[in-house]
Structure 1
Amino acid sequence: MPQYFSEDASVDAVNARMGEDVSPRLRQVMTSLITHLHGFIKDVQLTQEEWAFAVDFLTRTGQICSEQRQEFILLSDTLGVSMLVDAIGNRRPSGATENTVLGPFHVADAPRREMGVSISADGKGETCLFEGRVLDAAGNLIEGACLDVWSDNADGFYDVQQPDAQPRWNNRGRFTTGADGAYRFIGIKPVSYPIPYDGPVGKMLAALGRHPYRPAHMHFIVTAPGFQTVVTHTFVGDDPYITSDAVFGVKDTLVAPFERVNDGATAWRSPFDFVLVPS
């Protein structure tokens, strides 16, 4: 007997239209999506006007997207979806370094640099020594680990956002650990900055009484043969936005020490060890 559409039977009516040869995973995902989507609409009793507003919001979100800007990912980030997908895909045992979002400003193939050198090329900001070790869960030092690092500059912009104002590869570099498993480089103490808020996502945040700021952080991608890749940040703990990151990227274990240095070559020091798990 055909399953006709009705308010009560809406989920069954839509899901019954799937063909018999649909892949099991696609069937599982779409069945759940329809079930939750229809459940949401019934729960809030969505009006025609609200539905039209949502369609217009999604249309405007797509229209602002370009090769330089992905507003849909920004929407995913600000709704916590990106972090949830990342958390599910990167579950690790207690004590291992946790993942967080990659962010839109990573650039592949940053220059390989000698351990201990500075990655800052524009002369702005308070200098900071970043150092620590790369270890396995048993505390063994990992030789040959690569740390791909990058941050904003003192004005809160990444080099790719200001190609005419910042030197290429400013505040970026790759470092490889030796037998001691240690890394060491000089950057700047990062500063907080806003995500793009001149589009639909920014208007959504304003309507929800939310700010668009990310707390100050240094990006790391840590790779080593035989171990899971870690994509993460270390955060400045006294940043005013540390508990209200616009994209929900902060985890307690990723808040790093930033210590004032009174007699060193830098103004700050930030020690942090990375603990990897086997792939």
Structure 2
Amino acid sequence: MTATGPGPVAVVDGATVRYKTLVALDGVRAEFHTGTTALLGPNGAGKTTLLSLLSTARQPHEGTVSLLGEPVRGRSGTRRVRERIGVLPQSFGYYPRFTVREFVEYAAWLRKVPAGERRARVTEALRLVELEKYADRRMGALSGGMLRRAGIAQAVVNRPALVLLDEPTVGLDPAQRVGFRALIRDLGERSAVVMSTHLAEDVAHVCDRVHVLLEGRMRFTGSAADLCARAADHDGAALDGPAVEAGYLAVVAEQAEGNGVPA
């Protein structure tokens, strides 16, 4: 995968997004470096909207988004940076009669991987997700875990600097989740991986940094250890539950108290 250097791979600066009267993101600022970053928050917090900004599918009404120091704006600029991004949606479409190899080759073509490099890139992506021996199996015959791996292969076939994962372990059994976490950690060695999730357990095992979004605003940014350190209520008593989950609940409680809502 492409080395990205010591600086941030992606920067969101003061991004605001509105859907009619709903403010989905409100002045959000965040940096994403090589490694794995979690977007943690409840439904409607703005996680998917933030991913859509990072994927260039949407542009903010206010603020800016940049990738590798290049602002994402205008048709030509958007097209240029899009070639450095890989995306795995929570639900992704595929033609069931495609083989795994054909599916990843099609993704390589869409992302403008040069024709002379496609075969090698597809082999590289399948090797990364340990699907080489299943390359000729039809997509419609894959298990849920193997489908997710094929989804990762299509997301990284262009050697992206930024990989966006939306709820990547939802629907996987415990053994599949363990294997998938190892794959995500490996991706974070070479790219900036941004993972939207509801699962605090995934954050604890995979992520270097955590952003907590609540009601469209960034309420916490720090390491997983920093979030665990928030695992106390306003009286200083430890919250029950796993440390990352307890830290997240502490942030939610602090926000509720700030809004005058009993926690």
* TM-score bucket (shorter structure): under 0.3
Could you state the TM-score of these two structures normalised by the residue count of structure 2? Answer: 0.23
Identify the structure with bigger relative contact order (alpha carbons < 8 Å, sequence gap 6+).
2
Q: Which has the larger radius of gyration?
A: 1
Higher helix share goes to which structure? 2
TM-score (norm 1): 0.23
